[in-house]
DNA sequence: ATGGTAGGACGCCTA
């Protein structure tokens, strides 16, 4: 049976509901993981999702900043809302969902952006980002015959040279510094995770999921970065049948600066 | 080299 999961940093769930509806109507993922909902839990637009057939909604939100939500057409079981770095930030949600004969553990992450200055000694936000990644190391790609793991979200790091518009020009820009790219690749491989976007799009090809709001013409300039990721345990990777980076969504009305990424699997 | 835009706490922080 086919199973699809989408991840999207939507930069305010309430403001973005029209294009979230567009995504759900046109692509109908089984599971949708949102980041940067910027919505207190008691103000989350549950009814709008229910109307679209997404009756199962788990949220970990706060006022003004951050916030993640995992939304599905099938039952979700809340597993954990982990607090990282004792900051009180809402940046993680883990849930279980049934997919074919497998029980999937889905981690939804919003990693700190890290500020502008890539020096942890003078920039506490960058130090926080590195500390967060350090704590993420014990999130493993657990799996056996009956279970698998998926980790998605805005990880705010573009690890490969082809994940940014200019490797050379971004080496000192937070999101592509060597300490970040090395740390992310180490924690991914160390946790047993496969980078599924790069399973479908060869590492020599450029691919981006984010374009700054500040560019005059994001499409023509195309100064993007691959900040959003879909990882899985190794027993799921051979079942991957498709990967869509929905670039067109950056041009939708009132867009997020990130676009949805959708993975499709053929499960037993 | 700098500043550019967007969102939410409507003043300034975060991205």
Give percent above pLDDT 70 in chain A: 100
pLDDT tens for A228-239 read: 999 999 999 999
Range A128-133 average pLDDT = 98
A156 touches strand B (CB under 7 A): yes
Q: What is the pLDDT of residues A78-102, one digit of tens each?
A: 999 999 999 999 999 999 999 999 9
CA A234 remoteness from chain centre: 19
Does the structural domain A2-266 have CATH classification 3.60.10.10? Answer: yes
Q: Classify strands A2-9 and A31-35 as parallel, antiparallel or unpaired.
A: parallel
DSSP A52: T
- Indicate yes or no: strand B within 7 A of the C-beta of A205: no
Q: Separation of CA A105 and C1' B4 in angstroms?
A: 40
Beta bridge partners of A151: A107, A231
Cα separation, A171 vs A219, in Å, equals: 22
What is the residue extent of each domain of chain A?
Answer: 2-266
Quick one: pLDDT band at residue A1, thresholds 50, 70, 90?
A: confident
Q: Whose C1' is closest to the CA of A258: which nucleotide?
A: B15
Q: Which nucleotide is nearest to A11 (CA to C1')?
A: B7
pTM of the model: 0.98
CB of A223 under 7 A from strand B?
no
pLDDT band at A268; cut points 50, 70, 90? confident
pLDDT of residue A230: 98
What are the φ/ψ torsions at residue A154 (nearest 5 degrees)?
Answer: -90, 100
Decide: CB of A64 under 7 A of nucleic strand B.
yes
Q: Give the count of alpha carbons within 13 A of A128, CB side only.
A: 20
């Amino acid at each position: 049976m086919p199973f699809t999961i989408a991840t999207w940093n939507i930069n305010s769930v309430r403001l973005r509901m029209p294009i979230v509806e567009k995504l759900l109507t046109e692509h109908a993922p089984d599971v949708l993981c949102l980041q940067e909902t910027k919505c207190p839990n008691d103000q989350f637009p549950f009814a709008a999702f229910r109307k679209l057939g997404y009756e199962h909604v788990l949220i970990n939100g706060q006022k003004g900043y951050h916030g993640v939500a995992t939304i599905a057409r099938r039952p979700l079981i809340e597993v954990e809302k982990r607090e990282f770095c004792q900051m009180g930030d809402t940046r993680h949600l883990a849930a279980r969902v049934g997919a074919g004969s497998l029980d999937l553990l889905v981690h939804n992450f919003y990693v700190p952006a890290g500020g502008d200055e890539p020096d942890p000694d003078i920039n506490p936000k960058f130090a926080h980002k590195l500390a967060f990644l350090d704590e993420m190391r014990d999130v493993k790609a657990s799996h056996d015959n009956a279970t698998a793991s998926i980790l998605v979200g805005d990880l705010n790091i573009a690890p490969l040279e082809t994940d940014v518009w200019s490797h050379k020009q971004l080496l000192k820009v937070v999101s592509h510094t060597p300490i970040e790219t090395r740390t992310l690749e180490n924690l991914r491989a160390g946790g047993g995770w496969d980078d599924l976007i790069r399973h479908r799009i060869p590492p020599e090809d450029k691919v981006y999921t984010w374009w700054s709001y500040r560019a005059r013409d994001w499409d023509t300039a195309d100064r993007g970065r691959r900040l959003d990721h879909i990882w899985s345990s190794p027993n799921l990777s051979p079942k991957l049948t498709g990967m869509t980076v929905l670039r067109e969504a950056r041009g939708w009305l009132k867009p997020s600066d990130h676009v949805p990424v959708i993975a499709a699997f053929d499960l037993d």
